[in-house]
Structure 1
């Protein structure tokens, strides 16, 4: 089983980041939590964490995303921390994971999420 742990700092308040995460349909299913391919949310604590398991279709796949205030003020940034546990099935999955493509996919997804949230944040220059 592989574990991927990544985080990103976003220049937006936690409420906006959490809302964007839960509304974002373009996130990979493995990152949304409870969306797609039979995944099911196992825990949802608004503005704090979302945990999920892959369900019957993706046994061995699970994850959790947590949201943390980054700074002293309510309007400061947010740190998003993502942890994914994956269990490759078959030669192709093992190859993809072994070459680091899964990690790269997660890193790129978080970077795109950050850029999108910051681009749409009121009061920030685009």
Structure 2
């Protein structure tokens, strides 16, 4: 089983980051929690954390995302994923670090979306 832990700081209040996370459809189901491919939310504490289990379609996959107020206008989002590769392809992808890279890229895209949306509203 592999564990991926990444965090990113976003220039937006915690409530806005939480709302965007729960609404942001481009995130893979394995990151969003409780959405798509049978994932089931196991704990939802608004503005604090969302935990999930992969369910029958993603056995061995689970995760938690936590939201931490840095300042009134910035939030640190922390993501932990536990993955269980199935088959040669999954083991190869994970072994070469492609899963970690995808998570980093997805979080960066999420940060950009939140911050640009915030700038658009301020304009």
Residue 39 of structure 1: aligned partner: 39
RMSD: 0.9
Q: For 1:72-83, what aligned pairs fall within 5 Å after superposition? A: 74=72, 76-83=73-80
Question: How far apart, in 2, do the equivalents of 1:65 and 1:115 lie?
Answer: 18
Question: How far apart, in 2, do the equivalents of 1:101 and 1:95 lie?
Answer: 9
Measured against aligned partners, the alpha-carbon deviations of 1:13-55 in whole angstroms (never above 9, x if no partner) come to 0010000000001101111001111000000000000000000
- Determine whether 1:116 maps to 2:108: no
Structure 2: state its 5+ residue gaps: none
Question: How far apart, in 1, do the equivalents of 2:83 and 2:36 lie?
Answer: 15
Moved over 6 A (4+): none
Q: SS in structure 1 opposite 2:57? A: helix
Structure 1: state its 5+ residue gaps: none
> Could you state the TM-score of these two structures normalised by the residue count of structure 1?
0.94
